[in-house]
Amino acid sequence: MTDKLPRKRRKLFFDSYADFDLQKKSLEHETVQPATQNKSDDKAEYDDEPTDVKLARLISLFPDIDESILLDVLVSYEGCVEAASACLEARRDSKREDASSPPGMQSSLLSSFQSAAPDQAIVSSSSGWSKPLTKRGKTLHLYSPEDIARHTPCSIIHNFLGPEEANELLTELLDEAKTFHSDTFQLFDKIVQSPHTSKLYVSSDYELRQQTEQYVYNGTYQTDVRKLSPRMKVVSDKVQKVVNEQVQRRIQTHYPDGKKLRYQSPREWVPNVALVNCYDGPQESVGYHSDQQTYLGPRAIIGSLSLGVAREFRVRKVAARDGAGDDDNKQQQDEDSVKKTRLPDKIADAQGQISIHLPHNSLLIMHAEMQEEWKHSIPAVSNISPHPVSGNKRINITYRWYRESLHPRNIPRCRCNMPTILRCVQRKQSSRGRYMWMCYAGYAPGSKGCSFFQWAEFDDDGEPLWEKMRMKRSYHTTNDQL
């Protein structure tokens, strides 16, 4: 009995790279609470043996397993031979022991639900979501691609590029990142900087001129936009192919009647802009936000490639702030107070948050539900496990499709004579899901901006109805419209 218990505590069959990460966390913490366990930032420090020596040790322990598989498992455990060995033993044990998972270990959240056939749509609401599993103030950690797809508006693909190609791209961008800068903008009359660095990349010389002369970000024009390198362009083509495949799969398996969402474009997703972010160390981060949709349009899709050190990607569903009898002005004051003081936002955290582990060489697809209904962040942590190539740095490439119909020449201008920003109503229940054009000039340091506001109109494919919008008169923003 005593000999069987340790084996049962380790037993877990892994179907994917992400599940290897789950077993790693289970081993590091001995026991993992089901689903809602808050993950410690502490990491085990592994020895400095060369990779080929570690691989040789695994080969001697598991001669019946292919060398390439052993290498993948070793890499997934960041070079820890002991953790990789335990994972492989657990996989071997799973073939001999019964299929039930031991208490305190999460094999897959899907085991708690009735499984659907591969070609059967997993739909339980308008956006395809099941009942939320998170609770106020709690963090749900998801690891398997199946759980991530079911409970978040995301898909994840591990080991997206070949190991050599991923490391070469990482090395190239680490050199580029030496000249990246933090974004500077104005918020509540204070000048602030983003807690990480970034740079925008485009495909052609024409797009380069357009970005520096016509496109506006945070109320200002960009002066340092760069062209994709040949290696970045090759990877962009690969991302395009996989993202389009995942989008079609998402439509068939998660959306009502297997049809795209309203305002989602039926056209092929063709990334023409890449925003490269660099997170240098555990304290560099980005707070909860939705990505700007001004040039992307409604129901935007983003492909995000992670390279270097592994970090957490957290998401939470946006909760409406108003209901019957609620005071709109008081709610707006409470929200402003939260932003200014950085106190916990109890309403926003009503459903808790979900954490997705982003290891090196993983591609995360943010689907058409993401920007309107969810917010996402990269939280600061106390420490991280260094990557053999990047050390403490994480490089993140977010591929985006800028629509020609939303070129700045078409976008309404505010009274500051600057292109406006496109936003989606998220908090106000009565107008939730509607889009609006607003002044964004006030984000530029030293600028006051204006109170320009106009409802935005789109057809079912997310294309702007400019003639219909120009028939409307602009007017000032009020709190209860947001």
- The answer to whether position 181 is within a domain reads yes
- For 259, what's the count of Cα atoms within 13 Å in the CB-facing half-sphere? 8
Which of 374, 405, 436 finishes a domain? 405
Do 420 and 299 belong to one domain? Answer: no
Most confident of 20-24, 44-48, 332-336, 345-349: 345-349
Give the pLDDT confidence score for residue 350 in this predicted structure. Answer: 61
**pLDDT tens sequence across 124-174:** 344 444 455 667 778 899 988 999 999 999 999 999 999 999 999 999 999
Nearest to 435 by CA among 423, 444, 421: 423
∠ CA(442), CA(444), CA(449), 5° rounding? 20
**319 and 353 housed in the same domain:** yes
Rounded to the nearest 5 percent, the helix, strand and coil shares of the chain are 30, 20, 45
Any domain includes 121: no
Do residues 316 and 244 share a domain? yes
286 and 381 part of one domain: yes
- Last-in-domain residue among 371, 390, 405: 405
Q: Kindly report the CA angle at 274 between 271 and 280, in degrees rounded to 5?
A: 150
**Amino acid type, 357:** H
Domain boundary among 405, 428, 461: 405
Of residues 195 and 121, the one with the higher pLDDT is 195
Residue at token pair 């002066």: 223
Residue 304 banded pLDDT, cuts 50, 70, 90:
very high
Q: Is residue 131 part of a domain?
A: no
Instruction: Tell me the pLDDT tens digit for each residue of 74-111.
Output: 766 667 777 777 777 766 655 444 344 333 333 334 33
Residue 97: domain span: 1-104
Burial (CB count <10 Å: 0-12, 13-18, 19+), residue 9: middle
* Averaged pLDDT for residues 323-331: 41
Ramachandran category for residue 352: left, alpha or beta (phi over 0 → left; psi -120 to 50 → alpha): left
- If asked whether residues 348 and 459 sit together in one domain, one would say no
pLDDT digits (tens, 9 = 90+) for 406-432: 999 999 999 999 999 999 998 888 889
222: pLDDT strictly greater than 80:
yes
